[in-house]
């Protein structure tokens, strides 16, 4: 009888643990994530924002493209969006695109030292 009880307790624990691990929600696939994964980033679901930023740092043109794709999504985003895979990816791309430097232009004026 005691063996049966131990077996049932072990089985019950197994069922509970399986239920806890099996109940993870899968995020919806977005074109932004698809673009990154097709470019060779691998599965982004478990990657941190820092990991995404590091990978995008080696592929800056892709980071700029992803940032452009994220612009229409950001204003409509929910509070949880920044914790989603797409939100972390868009944040990492935005951080890299922020430091994008353009060509230096001049108006041709020069200034000399001293007072006039």
Residue 36 belongs to a domain: yes
Structure tokens at 108: 């041709």
- Whether 39 is covered by a domain: the verdict is yes
- Residue 68 in any domain: the answer is yes
- To 5 degrees, how large is the angle CA 53–CA 98–CA 69? 70
* 103 within domain boundaries: no
Q: How far apart are CA 66 and CA 97, in angstroms?
A: 9
Residue 40 belongs to domain spanning: 31-98
What would the mean pLDDT of 77-86 be, rounded to a whole number? 92
The token pair that represents 98 in the structure block: 């922020």
- Identify whether the C-beta of residue 57 lies closer than 8 Å to the C-beta of residue 92: no
Number of domains composing the chain: 1
User: Is 45 a domain residue?
Assistant: yes
- Give per-residue pLDDT as tens, 21-53: 555 566 778 999 999 999 999 999 989 999 999
Closest residue by Cα to residue 90 from 63, 113, 108, 109: 63
pTM exceeds 0.85, yes or no: no
State how far the Cα of 34 lies from the Cα of 51, in Å rounded to an integer.
Answer: 17
């Amino acid at each position: 009888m005691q063996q049966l009880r131990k077996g049932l307790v072990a089985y019950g624990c197994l069922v509970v643990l399986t239920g806890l691990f099996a109940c993870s929600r899968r995020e919806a696939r977005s074109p932004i994530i698809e673009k990154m994964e097709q470019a060779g980033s691998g599965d982004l679901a478990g990657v941190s924002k820092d990991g995404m930023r590091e990978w995008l740092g080696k592929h800056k043109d892709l980071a700029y493209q992803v940032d452009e794709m994220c612009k229409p999504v950001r204003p409509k985003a929910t509070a949880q969006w920044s914790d989603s895979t797409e939100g972390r990816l868009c944040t990492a791309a935005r951080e890299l695109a922020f430091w994008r430097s353009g060509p230096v232009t001049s108006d041709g004026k020069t200034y000399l030292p001293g007072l006039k």
